[in-house]
Amino acid sequence: MTFKNHYEAFSRIVGSDNCYIDQPHRQAYSYDATRQTFLPDAVIFPRNEADVQAILKYANQHKIPITPRGAGSGFTGGSLSAQGGAVLALEKHMNKILEIDFENMLARVQPAVINKDLQNAVEAHGLFYPPDPASQDYSTIGGNVSENAGGMRAAKYGITKNFVLALRAVLPNGELIRAGKKTIKDVAGYNVAGLLCASEGTLAVITEITLKLLPKPKLTLTAMGVFSSVAAAMSATYKSFINGVTPVAMEFLDNLTIKAVETAYKKGLPIDAGALLITEVDGNVEADILWQIETLQQVFKENGCGAFFVAKNDMERDAIWFARRNASQSLKVYGPTKLNEDITVPRSALPELLKRITAIGEKYDHQIPCFGHTGDGNVHVNVMTNRQDMVRYHNAEKAVRDIFEAAVDLEGTLSGEHGIGVSKAPFMNMAFSQSEMNFFRTIKNAIDPNNILNPGKMGL
């Protein structure tokens, strides 16, 4: 049977205006933020959960690969059709906030709801959805769940999985399951919702998500510390937590990143600083957040902070956060190609991790600016290179491998929020034993024996 026959079958399910095999549609859904390209055979826009069931049932019968996709904003290729087949594009129809339950403080949404749209909707009613990935203005909740996304507020509030109460999902054979409940406590049965978080669409297609909300804090204070070295800033990070402060965010920029932001935007940043630490605390009692800021200032200064600034108003707060929010795009001053990785280690291992990354940069003669979420040990490592210079590019790839080895050696992990996808799949055996990888494959084979859901991802 040719794919044209499959296209006709899919079109009967969703309608001809929701199924395409033309080149423009296939090209538009062939890449994500990695800039890798895998051309799908078709792009299908399911209108509802029943469509998803019918599509997967047919695809399973005919062994057609299906790749679920939200906004396509991922950095590891999780939404790319690595083995052809059809992209299941959810953003066109399955993008509604279904319920905001004020009494139980939860939200029920379809997978293609934009993260920031949900935040705005609940905050209008005094509630709060903390997970805030850098892509929050365009990434979808379904994608956040599938990759278990984090963000700057993870230091205090945790990551996406900490807010998922329940899911509705369609298995590869088209059967619908419900995982979890609206209740705060639920210990009946396996934690299937937890299993689907970070599964990158390899086990089921999520069609509905129930999320826990919090009351929105009334007060916030933002501060920035200037350090002579990145090691001092890393030391101050974990010692802040030991001293009883749990900041909403604890973000850092190393010297290379500071220089890049200043070169690009001319904001008067201290380009001779070894690192900047940007932190924020929140709460409902003024005395409490003042104590937190004062404690942070004391800990920072005890660990090499030369200057400490506290924002007096929203304008100063935005000015402090500007460098962090614009760090990634400013790094192009170091080269046209960026190999962007997001390793995570225990907070106490941060000084040693940054020391090793510096040595790796020297070893391969590459600049490796770093920034990220030190509050939860998640560092964005950027190996700057040039894809047109193959010798340098291959050295950059070697540097990435060495960085992963350093993270794993320090009891860390390959990814804190970007996921594995196709780009990190070759390194899974570095982080997991053969028995552990076999366990992953046993789960995958049991749920998806025909391997139709997002094949080629996570090294499975």
Can you give the CATH number for the domain in which 26 is found? 3.30.43.10
Q: Between helices 390-409 and 350-364, what is the axis angle to 10°?
A: 160
Boundary of a domain, candidates 89, 123, 141? 89
Q: Is residue 428 part of a domain?
A: no
317 and 229 both lie in a single domain? yes
Residues facing 209 on adjacent strands: 109, 167
Alpha-carbon gap, residue 70 to 54, rounded angstroms: 19
List Cβ neighbours of 409 (8 Å cut-off, separation of 6 or more): none
β-pairing, 337-344 vs 378-385, is antiparallel
Question: Which regions of 367-435 does DSSP assign to beta strands (E)?
Answer: 370-373, 378-385
Q: Is residue 297 part of a domain?
A: yes
List Cβ neighbours of 429 (8 Å cut-off, separation of 6 or more): 437, 459
258 and 242 both lie in a single domain? yes
Q: Is 292 exposed, middle or buried (0-12, 13-18, 19+ CB in 10 A)?
A: buried
Tell me the per-residue pLDDT of 47-92, one tens digit each, with 9 for 90 and over.
999 999 999 999 999 999 999 999 999 999 999 999 999 999 999 9
Low-confidence ranges of the chain (pLDDT < 70): 1
251 and 304 both lie in a single domain? yes
CA 140 to chain centre: 11
pTM for the whole thing? 0.95
Q: Is residue 370 part of a domain?
A: no
Q: Is residue 349 part of a domain?
A: no
Task: Please check whether residue 402 is in contact with residue 338, taking contact to mean a CB–CB distance below 8 angstroms.
Answer: no
228 and 289 both lie in a single domain? yes
105 and 181 both lie in a single domain? yes
Q: Is residue 432 part of a domain?
A: no
User: How many domains does one find in the chain?
Assistant: 3
| CATH number, residue 152 | 3.30.465.10
| Per-residue pLDDT at 1 | 62
Containing structural domain, residue 116 = 97-215
| Per-residue pLDDT at 4 | 82
Q: Is residue 234 part of a domain?
A: yes
| Per-residue pLDDT at 402 | 98
Boundary of a domain, candidates 215, 235, 254? 215
Q: Is residue 375 part of a domain?
A: no
